[in-house]
């Protein structure tokens, strides 16, 4: 067989052309030798004896004739205990460790172990010699922060194996051999706590995929009540710059009711990641009493880091998410922003001189986006348990116009759409999700017919507002005016949520259901008001009390008192016979 090697014959931007001998594989990793540096790259096209590779580093200094070593491996990440709490770049380089070694700047060609050998865990065996195991079978467990981490047979081992030996209970390095298994042909394979998995291939070590049915509670009211997300589902947040995509994801990463959050900062500002990585260790997660960092993994390939690694970063993120799903956990993957990833594809496609599609994005954009979101899901694992990966991605459409390829391709595949609007963010109505345009295919914690009733008021209120802009307040009937006031009320006390208020920042599902009933009482009541001035006065008063209520601790005495206060005011101003509004609300149940 011809030896496998190659030399550079062309360089443009972050792409090199290589003439090779032997066989190369699509998406194979190669290392370009430039001086004493080795630069990681990936085969993205092969034509005849020429392979084209995207280089994950700055390409300055590469010359014709430089050698390349092919690794025979696909681009992969290391999986094992110790990933939680880490901050990696798109290629799974640990950034804090890199900073210790290289100082202020990212030095190209330096690749550190994602999980260093110094990392140790207390291993408790779960398998015994003689057991028959296959991929994803549990060999033992280690405690990882708040979780019991399963040490499993690598997902890439597709045979049946007999356990030859398992390490006794004790503390081991992640790179120590903790088991030996024998395959059907008698070869013995030593296993450590770590194995690798190619990032562009979904982890498929489970029995079946299930339909996402459980709501994922984000504790953002407008999301959970109006446009819910499901565990194992997908959603997207498109919006113009400054509309609040990142802040919304930051809030979600703090408050969402999931076990693990993987944050992929893809081609966005470094400063935003710094906020997360400096603040999370200081914040206690009320659900576990531990620092939020213990349930978080950050993958960060910010906008000034090499572009090709942006593409890798979303895959690195989703692979780590899938890995924790295999432990029976609910994982949320947040990607900010998928447009930057799409742009990285566009840059590469341009260098390959492929025939461009709309706005010069490659023709395969849509299918690549679709297969990325397909990696979300609820699965039944081999042991009968379940785990889920939920994916939420932001989209940054050019000019804030949703009629563009990335937004449109994404909308075709996701289960919920949280569209942010410039109008709402300019008016400081945060979170600036447009309630008239957004949608969700999932079911949330509040009864759907109740939600419909309120959405209806929102739509009618908006109609009145549009009309009022033409005919003025004078030309609007009192009834119409009241509908407008009610829709504004709903917006102010429920859709808007103060991210900086310690109580209002996060509203649990139970509280949402309770508050929503009171809200319905306010909105469905027919009020005894003489004129528009009085109507506005009444709704302003109710708004003030309701906002105060939003700031009360859940289930506290003050909470109950404020609730009674609101209902009392409603009753006092109502012209409905007693009990009619309650009956109306009851009918919307279930």
Partner 1 sequence: MRKIYSKIEQIAGNVITVKADGVKYGELAEVTSRHGSTLAEVIRLQGEDVYLQAFSGTRGISTGDEVRFLGRPMQVSFSENLLGRIFTGGGLPRDSGPSLSENMIEIGGPAVNPAKRIIPRNMIRTGIPMIDVFNSLVVSQKLPIFSVSGEPYNQVLARIAMQAEVDVIVLGGCGLKYDDYLYFKETLEEGGALSRTIFFIHTAADPVVECLQVPDLCLAVAENFGLQGKRVLVLLTDMTNFADALKEIAITMEQVPSNRGYPGDLYSQLAARYEKAVDFEGAGSVTVLAVTTMPGDDVTHPVPDNTGYITEGQFYLRNGRIEPFGSLSRLKQLVNKNTREDHRALMDGMIRLYAQYKDTLEKKAMGFRMSDWDQKLLSYGERFESGLMDLSVNIGLEQALDRGWEILSACFMPEETGLRTEIISKFWPKKE
Measuring CA to CA, which residue among 308, 313, 337 is closest to residue 241?
337
Mask 392-411, x = binds ligand ATP (CB under 6 A)?
----x---------------
CA 234 from centroid of its chain's CA atoms: 9
Query: Within positions 251 to 280, which residues make up the interface with partner 1, using CB under 8 A?
Result: 267, 269-271, 273-275, 277-279
For residue 569, the 8-state DSSP code is: H
Count of residues of this chain found to bind ligand ATP when the rule CB under 6 A is applied: 13
Q: Are 336 and 299 in contact (CB under 8 A)?
A: no
For residue 525, the 8-state DSSP code is: P
Q: For residue 314, state whether it binds partner 1 (rule: CB under 8 A).
A: no
Q: Are 90 and 313 in contact (CB under 8 A)?
A: yes
Residues 6+ apart with CB under 8 A from 565: 545, 549
Among 116, 158, 171, 241, binds partner 1 (CB under 8 A): 241
Q: For residue 537, state whether it binds partner 1 (rule: CB under 8 A).
A: no
> Exposed, middle or buried, 574 (CB in 10 Å: 0-12/13-18/19+)?
middle
Residues 6+ apart with CB under 8 A from 197: 76, 77, 79, 154, 155, 156, 203, 319, 323
Q: For residue 246, state whether it binds Mg ion (rule: CB under 5 A).
A: yes
- CB of residue 62 to partner 1, shortest distance in Å: 5
Residues 6+ apart with CB under 8 A from 449: 588, 589, 590
Q: Are 241 and 399 in contact (CB under 8 A)?
A: no
- CB of residue 250 to Mg ion, shortest distance in Å: 9
Q: Are 143 and 122 in contact (CB under 8 A)?
A: yes
By beta-carbon proximity to Mg ion, the closer residue of 396 and 550 is: 396
Among 81, 82, 212, 239, binds ligand ATP (CB under 6 A): 239
CA atoms within 13 A on the CB side of 470: 4
CA angle 210, 212, 213 (to 5 degrees): 115
Q: Which stretch in 201-209, 221-229, 238-246, 352-360 sits in contact with Mg ion by CB under 5 A? A: 238-246
Chosen from Mg ion, partner 1, ligand ATP, none, partner binding at 244 (C-beta under 5 to 8 Å by type): ligand ATP
d(CA 413, CA 400) in angstroms, rounded, equals: 20
By beta-carbon proximity to partner 1, the closer residue of 23 and 473 is: 473
Q: Are 455 and 463 in contact (CB under 8 A)?
A: no
Q: For residue 347, state whether it binds partner 1 (rule: CB under 8 A).
A: yes
- CB of residue 276 to ligand ATP, shortest distance in Å: 12
Query: Within positions 478 to 517, which residues make up the interface with ligand ATP, using CB under 6 A?
Result: 499
Chosen from Mg ion, ligand ATP, partner 1, none, partner binding at 239 (C-beta under 5 to 8 Å by type): ligand ATP
- Take residue 245 and report the two structure tokens written for it: 């995509």
d(CA 421, CA 429) in angstroms, rounded, equals: 10
By beta-carbon proximity to ligand ATP, the closer residue of 430 and 489 is: 430
By beta-carbon proximity to ligand ATP, the closer residue of 246 and 434 is: 246
Query: Within positions 409 to 438, which residues make up the interface with ligand ATP, using CB under 6 A?
Result: 430-431
Among 41, 59, 253, 410, binds partner 1 (CB under 8 A): 59
By beta-carbon proximity to partner 1, the closer residue of 359 and 564 is: 359
By beta-carbon proximity to ligand ATP, the closer residue of 57 and 272 is: 272
Among 72, 73, 102, 281, binds partner 1 (CB under 8 A): 102
By beta-carbon proximity to partner 1, the closer residue of 202 and 400 is: 400
By beta-carbon proximity to ligand ATP, the closer residue of 302 and 319 is: 302
- CB of residue 294 to partner 1, shortest distance in Å: 18
Query: Within positions 247 to 306, which residues make up the interface with ligand ATP, using CB under 6 A?
Result: 247, 268
Measured N-to-C along each axis, helices 405-413 and 338-351 cross at an angle, to the nearest 10 degrees, of 120
Q: Which residues of 154-165 are buried (b: 16+ CB within 10 A; e: fewer)?
A: bbebeeebbbee
Helix/strand/coil for 370: helix
Binding site for partner 1 (CB under 8 A): 8-13, 17, 58-65, 87, 95-96, 98-99, 102-108, 240-242, 267, 269-271, 273-275, 277-279, 300, 302-305, 307, 340, 343, 346-347, 350, 356, 359-361, 396, 398-401, 426-427, 472-474
Binding site for Mg ion (CB under 5 A): 245-246
Binding site for ligand ATP (CB under 6 A): 239, 241-247, 268, 396, 430-431, 499
């Amino acid at each position: 067989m011809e030896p496998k090697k190659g030399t550079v014959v062309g360089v443009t931007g972050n792409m090199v052309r290589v003439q090779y001998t032997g066989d190369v594989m699509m998406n194979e990793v190669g290392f370009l030798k430039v001086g004493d540096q080795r630069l990681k790259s990936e085969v993205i096209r092969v034509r005849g004896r020429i392979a084209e590779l995207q280089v994950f580093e700055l390409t300055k200094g590469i010359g014709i004739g430089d050698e390349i070593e092919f690794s025979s491996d696909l681009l992969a990440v290391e999986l094992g205990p110790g990933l939680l709490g880490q901050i990696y770049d798109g290629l799974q380089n640990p950034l804090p460790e890199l900073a210790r070694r290289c100082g202020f700047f990212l030095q190209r060609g330096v690749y550190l172990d994602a999980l260093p050998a110094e990392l140790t865990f207390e291993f408790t065996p779960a398998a015994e010699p003689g057991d028959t195991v296959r991929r994803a079978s549990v060999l033992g467990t280690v405690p990882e922060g708040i979780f019991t981490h399963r040490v499993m047979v690598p997902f890439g081992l597709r045979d049946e194996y007999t356990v030859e030996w398992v390490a006794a209970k004790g503390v081991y390095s992640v790179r120590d051999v903790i088991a030996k298994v024998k395959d059907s042909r008698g070869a013995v394979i030593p296993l450590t706590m770590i194995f690798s998995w190619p990032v562009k291939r979904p982890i498929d070590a489970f029995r079946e995929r299930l339909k996402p049915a459980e709501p994922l509670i984000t504790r953002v009211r407008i999301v959970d009540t109006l446009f819910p997300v499901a565990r194992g589902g997908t959603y997207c947040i498109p919006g113009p710059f400054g509309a609040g995509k990142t802040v919304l994801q930051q809030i979600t990463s703090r408050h969402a009711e999931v076990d693990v959050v993987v944050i992929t900062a893809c081609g966005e500002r470094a400063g935003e990641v710094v906020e997360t990585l400096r603040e999370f260790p200081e914040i206690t997660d009320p659900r576990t009493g531990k620092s939020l960092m213990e349930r978080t993994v950050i993958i960060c390939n910010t906008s000034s880091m090499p572009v090709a690694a942006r593409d890798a970063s979303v895959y690195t993120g989703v692979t780590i998410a899938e890995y924790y799903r295999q432990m029976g956990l609910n994982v949320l993957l947040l990607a900010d922003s998928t447009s930057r990833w799409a742009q990285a594809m566009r840059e590469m496609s341009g260098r390959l001189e492929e025939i461009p599609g709309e706005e010069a994005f490659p023709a395969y954009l849509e299918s690549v986006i679709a297969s990325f979101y397909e990696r979300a899901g609820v699965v039944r694992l081999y042991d009968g348990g379940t785990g889920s990966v939920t994916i939420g991605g932001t989209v940054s459409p050019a000019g804030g116009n949703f009629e563009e390829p990335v937004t449109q391709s994404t909308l075709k595949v996701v289960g919920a759409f949280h569209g942010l609007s410039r109008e709402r963010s300019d008016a400081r109505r945060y979170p600036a999700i447009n309630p008239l345009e957004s949608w969700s295919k999932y079911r949330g914690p509040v009864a759907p017919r109740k939600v419909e009733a309120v959405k209806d008021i929102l739509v009618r209120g908006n109609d009145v507002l549009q009309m009022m802009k033409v005919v003025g307040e004078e030309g609007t009937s009192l009834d119409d005016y009241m509908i407008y006031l009610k829709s504004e009320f709903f917006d102010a006390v429920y859709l808007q949520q103060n991210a900086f208020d310690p109580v209002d920042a996060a509203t649990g599902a139970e509280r949402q259901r309770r508050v929503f009933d009171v809200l319905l009482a306010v909105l469905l009541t027919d009020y005894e008001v003489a004129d528009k001035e009085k109507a506005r006065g009444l709704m302003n008063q109710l708004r003030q009390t309701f906002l105060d209520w939003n700031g009360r601790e859940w289930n506290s005495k003050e909470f109950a008192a404020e609730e009674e206060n609101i209902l009392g005011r409603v009753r006092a101003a109502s012209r409905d016979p007693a009990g009619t509004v309650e009956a109306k609300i009851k009918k919307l149940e279930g």
